[in-house]
Structure 1
């Protein structure tokens, strides 16, 4: 049976097969780098050059990466559901643009976007595909030395929370793909879905930290398991 409205939450695992590092797995970014020195407002204030260099490196990695079969499967499912009069709400914890490049038309980035810069003076954002350095000026207000990556750091509030929770409440399937189940509020969405009596499924390389909260699960590479799962529901 094809669900009419699907809420999809994606995490770093869906982009891992495109060569982008995960965060909390063994060998992930936070196993190799101290997030408190690279991903907090305090770290940026204390040592902006080091923080900007870290995100400049990550930005170059995102630009070099390509969407994989899992990203493309979600884009096809979105188009198929739309043709049937339904909706796929795609909420991602990822700051890359691989969903968009795969063809997804509407992506909600709850942790921001690495290919955007935000000005700490005027708070406005701008597209950014090149390195950010402290001598840069804001293209909006022209302040110098105020640009930072438009990503949510530790201690900051995720974005679009009201829209995300409203979309989740209106869905008839909750699907988590490549998430660790360790980062809140995203890790709590499966239980919120269960509270609304919405069926839930985890698609992951290995069980997540909150795997026991899901009704169903498919384990293996997302590029294989996700297209197969969606195909079984007439969405490929």
Structure 2
């Protein structure tokens, strides 16, 4: 696809992706599910580079949900191992290329080694400004909202905040995505037509693109097509159409 068909002046600032279909991609090829996840990680790296080149400022990818703890223990262990490998093997590349890495989600149930790797990666890249990569790990949209509500409720209980002072901005600042703009575009692969508890509050006005391609087959061309689709939408935010 020719990039010139994309309006460079209307690139979504923040794109969120649900990387779905790794297991089905592997099964269709007679491979173990983990082979699909490993291929999915390689594609995620390629799409991160492509997103930065296109001009996207923030990319949020969902690597592990709060519901994924229900999966077989060997698959959970494998997914944890992939996170460890990424945070160790690819961190230097991220840092040298100006990528700020953030890991969004609960720290509950994560072992000390995982937490140390996350904290090191976040601290090392915190001043980078070229591109923002957010990895949603042990993340659930409802959990995000609940923890924000608890944070604000504690402040009210301590007398530091009055209930009527709570507004949308204050609530947003209490979410895992504090300081990150809401996504303008969500892409979900593998033709699943739902958002599955992903950044719920933040996607109030997000445009959504669902594609049939399994994540391991997702390419830069697919990303560009989704952006073109997004650019053809009339984003009204409750107002009358401008067209």
Q: TM-score range by the shorter chain?
A: 0.3 to 0.5
Could you tell me the TM-score, scaled by structure 2's length?
0.39
Bigger helix share:
2
Q: State the TM-score, normalized to the length of structure 1.
A: 0.39
More strand, by proportion: 1
